[in-house]
A and B are shown apart, each in its own frame.
Chain A
Amino acid sequence: MAIKNKKLNLKDKYQYLTRDMAWEPTYQKKKDIFPDEDFEGIKITDWSQWEDPFRLTMDAYWKYQAEKEKKLYAIFDAFAQNNGHQNISDARYVNALKLFLTGVSPLEHAAFQGYARVGRQFSGAGARVACQMQAIDELRHSQTQQHAMSHYNKHFNGLHDAAHMHDRVWFLSVPKSFFDDARSAGPFEFLTAISFSFEYVLTNLLFVPFMSGAAYNGDMATVTFGFSAQSDEARHMTLGLEVIKFILEQHEDNVPIVQRWIDKWFWRGFRLLSLVGMMMDYMLPNKVMSWAEAWEVYYEQNGGALFKDLERYGIRPPKYQDIANDAKHHVSHQAWSTFYQYSHATNFHTWMPEKEEMDWLSQKYPDTFDRYYRPRFEHWAKEHAEGRRFYNNTLPQLCQVCQIPTIFTEKDDPTMLSHRQIVHEGERFHFCSDGCCDIFKNEPEKYVQAWLPVHQIYQGNCEGSDVETVVSKYYHINIGEDNFEYIGSPDHKRWLSIKGKSSDAKDAKGESADQDAA
């Protein structure tokens, strides 16, 4: 294409700077250049059908992102200079940031690596460019999140070694294994897993609660990076939808393959979001909405409309969606119970909800909270008041696929754990659900290699056999500072002194301290 005008319109500019940067190879075979494009069985008949949702070129991209970045860091500076951490609702909130920094930010980095790798594998230039930009976005997200939270690291515990912890700490194997699974798949499965299932179907459930949670609790640094990332996320969501429609339109043989991936990655994503559920219902002192309400809006309604839309391609809603929809009444309570009893092995604090919070939970969960969870919580609160804060001193059974302890209950009987087990090549494997069990059965060769933290401790691969050694030496969690109960913790005391309240009134069992924090 010869350049006629000096001033290009946007469409031409896009064409020159993306599609025309590609070429047909002459002295190398296409197959050798893009070796991973077809082994998954996905058939692409015509890459030119790929519609670029944003027609963004690199020069425009740099300019736009640089402006956002400038504003973002100006706000971070103002936040630090004005001691913004003193204006949050309560220091319990910071524990949500600890979860975010260790559980989510490393996933942004994993997303960056994933897009950088799979983008290289597509012979279609449009898809390559889109992946490249998303890779840079995700790298930026991981960096800005770490910068936003570094201010809190000066004042609160548990934020000091996120990258190290991500590869080692038991509950962080849940988000880590999610992305490891996606990144070790082929390029089209990666896109279905991350672009479509995660970015398009589930990302609102992650970002909206976290960012509105930050706003409701006075954390302006986090709100700001949320806004800054949001325009990227909107682009990623559009890309996610384009990806799936493109693959489905290319060949009918792609439909059953994609359906299996949607089933798998919906289930894996839903399990991963248990962490977000407990953050919303338990970790935000000022609550935004309940997890059940969020699930209804962002999955049942939005997801419902989406899958209605995809029906014409022969795609049905994800398998076990009914189980997931019912679980919205339970997962946050079950996840918080788990972290409460294993609080000695985490980099954040836990606590029992105060009276008004229990009442809020009763109201938001009329069919489940009072019946199944309140008695347990009141028992624990009483034990704590009497100096016997409950910690579970054994290790939990983990699901071979999602790696979450097998804590979830049966849809038809919330007093029974949902547990599945199979024997594969003479060895027993255990799962939290039919969803995870199916994923294993489809690709057992992959999941027999799972690095399950509990089994690794028992095999002697975590620098010690007792929990204390593993937690301090292997996880880098500072015992007595980062972990255990919130009431009476160094964070709690620091917060009381910031607020000018006495902190010698008291520690571990103290009811007076409890009152002060309210």
Chain B
Amino acid sequence: MSVNALYDYKFESRDKVENFHGMQVLYIYWPHHLMFCSPVAVMVSPDMTFGDFLEQVLKPAFASHPDSAKADFVKAEWKLNDEPFTPVMSATMKDSGIDHKSMLTVTTPGLDGISGSGS
């Protein structure tokens, strides 16, 4: 179905990638660590390598969680937009198939949050 309107109703998406000045939005979700209330939204350059993203963006974002020090994000189970995903540290975001408003899910088996509560 489609919107019912008084006139031809067609507008640009407000969040199209062109509006982000060469950067793109990426969401990162760490299941069973709901102390972070939602997936986090970060901006990355499509040319950033996955290794740099891991060190410079992901790890600092989650550093305040007590599980963070124990987490091996490299050997974690990764999903990109709900599909299984194997990160290559030297590949860029673009070459890894990570596009604008993609979501990465990183599961760290054995780490189940504060006192195992999923927090």
Query: Which of A's residues lie within 8 Å of B, judged by CB?
Result: 35-36, 39-41, 186, 334, 337-338, 341-342, 371-376, 379-380, 388, 390, 392-398, 405-407, 409, 414-417, 419, 421, 425, 427-430, 441-446, 448-452, 454-455, 458-460
Contacts and interface: CB of A to CB of B under 8 A. Distances in A.
Interface centre among A338, A390, A394 (most CB of B within 10 A): A394
A458 B43 contact: yes
Interface stretch (B46-54, B70-78, B87-95, B97-105): B97-105
Interface string B102-119: 110000000011111111
B82 to A, nearest CB: 7
Interface in B9-53: 9-17, 19-21, 23, 25, 27, 29, 31-32, 34-43
Contacts of B99: 428
A333 to B, nearest CB: 10
Contacts of B56: none
Contacts of B23: 458
B5 interface: yes
B3 interface: yes
A449 B61 contact: no
B114 A443 contact: no
A397 B2 contact: no
B65 to A, nearest CB: 9
Contacts of B41: 394-398, 454-455, 458
A393 B20 CA distance: 20
Contacts of B40: 392, 394-397
A396 B15 contact: no
A313 to B, nearest CB: 21
Contacts of A421: 81-82, 103
A450 B11 CA distance: 11
B69 interface: no
Contacts of B35: 337, 341, 376, 379-380, 390
Contacts of B112: 415
Given A375-B115, A417-B29, A337 B37 contact: yes
B11 A449 contact: yes
Given A394-B41, A458-B23, A428 B34 contact: no
User: What does DSSP make chain A's interface, helix, strand, loop or mixed?
Assistant: mixed
B64 interface: yes
A421 B39 CA distance: 13
A419 B29 contact: yes
A474 B5 CA distance: 33
Contact of B39 (A337, A390, A406): A406
Contact of B118 (A372, A405, A441, A458): A372
A427 B101 contact: yes
A444 B4 CA distance: 11
Given A372-B118, A419-B29, A448-B14, A396 B34 contact: no
A460 B20 CA distance: 8
25 contacts: A41-B4, A337-B34, A372-B118, A373-B117, A376-B117, A379-B114, A397-B29, A405-B37, A405-B38, A409-B34, A415-B32, A427-B17, A427-B100, A427-B101, A428-B81, A428-B99, A428-B103, A429-B101, A442-B1, A445-B9, A449-B12, A452-B14, A452-B15, A458-B41, A459-B15
B38 A417 contact: yes
Given A338-B38, A342-B37, A392-B40, 6 more contacts: A39-B5, A186-B4, A396-B37, A421-B81, A430-B103, A449-B13
Contacts of A459: 15, 19-21
B66 interface: yes
A446 B29 CA distance: 27
Contacts of A455: 14-15, 25, 41
Q: Which of A379, A393, A442 counts the most chain B CB atoms within 10 A?
A: A379
Contacts of B27: 397, 430
B31 A430 contact: no
Contacts of A429: 101
Nearest to B1: A442
Nearest to B15: A455
Contacts of B103: 397, 419, 421, 428, 430
B119 A445 contact: no
A428 B61 CA distance: 23
Nearest to A455: B15
A448 B13 contact: yes
A372 B113 CA distance: 10
Given A415-B32, A455-B25, A397 B13 contact: no
A372 B117 contact: yes
A449 B13 CA distance: 5
A369 to B, nearest CB: 11
Contacts of A442: 1-2
A61 to B, nearest CB: 32
